Every structure is written in C-alpha cells, then in structure tokens.
Amino acid sequence: MIVRRANVADVSDVARVVAAVAPEGFLGAQPPVDIDERAERLQALLEQGEPAAMWVLEDEGEVVGYLAVQEGVPGVLSLGMAILAASRGQGGGRALLEAALEHAREAGAHKISLEAWTDNARAIALYAGAGFEVEGLRRDHYRRRDGRLRSTLLMGRRVPAREHRG
C-alpha cells in the first residue's frame, strides 16, 4: 500500500470509497451517497489550496482509502478519513495520519482535530495510537436520517513545531 497526495483525478475514486464505507454507519456521510455530489465537494476542497489537502491510500493501483484536512479555525486542521473494510489493519490508516501530521507541521498548523462516533472503537484506537487525545463529547449531537441521535468524541493532537536547523 502506498500513500500519495491526491489530485482532482482522484475525487471520483475517493467518493466511491465514501459510498462503500457509509453503510457501516461510522462516517458522517449517510447512504445512499451521491457520488457525483461528493466528488464535487472533494474537488472544491482540493481547489481551496493550502492548508487544505487530501491523500489517497492505494493498493495495487486502486484507491482504497483517503484522508483530508481543512482549516476551520486558524492553525487547526480538521481531519476526515475512510478506508475500505478489506484494506483495514494493514497500516494504511497510520500512514495516512503520518502524511497529514507532516503536512500540518509544514503548513504551520498547531493542532489537528477530528470527531469519531463513540461506538467506532477501531477508529478511536487508531487515533489514540497516533497521539490523539479525547477532548470532549458531543452527546446526541447529530440526527441521522432515521431519526436516531448520535454522539461523537472530539479528539485532537498538538502538532510539534518544525525544528529549525542552524
């Protein structure tokens, strides 16, 4: 598996990943995902330019995951990611997070933040293993299409400043 910076040609493949993962119930996106609309949103994110950025996870030339960041608060990058079920547990999530952390350092961000559903133990463990800490809880914050209310953990990680070499 390789991680590389995404480009506009990748947005449809990434949208298909979101559509495939959404039925699991662990993304903000809910099925059915409109692939064309999602691809347009992803393209708009890429067109924002720095510090917004996106990476894809490829396995034998096929996009099997992605991670995107964008700045919502000055110096803080918000993160979203998804990986196809069959491609999890092989280090791709960690590699995507490492790419995002390096980007955050280079962009001068001081923090990366994210939200994870409280019942998404696998993602929470991945983020915790990468140094993210739970900072809060949004209890019954999101209403899903079926009427259920969902809670998320707010997680964040400080980004170490770039080392200056003399």
pLDDT digits (tens, 9 = 90+) for 35-76: 999 999 999 999 999 999 999 999 999 999 999 999 999 999
pLDDT at 163: 59
Q: Pull the structure tokens for residue 147.
A: 């009427």
Backbone angles phi, psi at 25, to 5 degrees: 85, 15
Mean pLDDT, the chain, integer = 95
Residues 6+ apart with CB under 8 A from 8: 43, 46, 47
Domains of the chain: 2-112 (3.40.630.30)
Please state, in angstroms and as integers, the Cα–Cα distance from residue 160 to each residue in 5, 64, 72, following that order: 21, 29, 19
**Is it true that the peptide bond before 31 is cis, omega within 30 degrees of 0?**
no
pLDDT of residue 160: 86
Task: Report the share of the chain in percent with pLDDT over 90.
Answer: 95
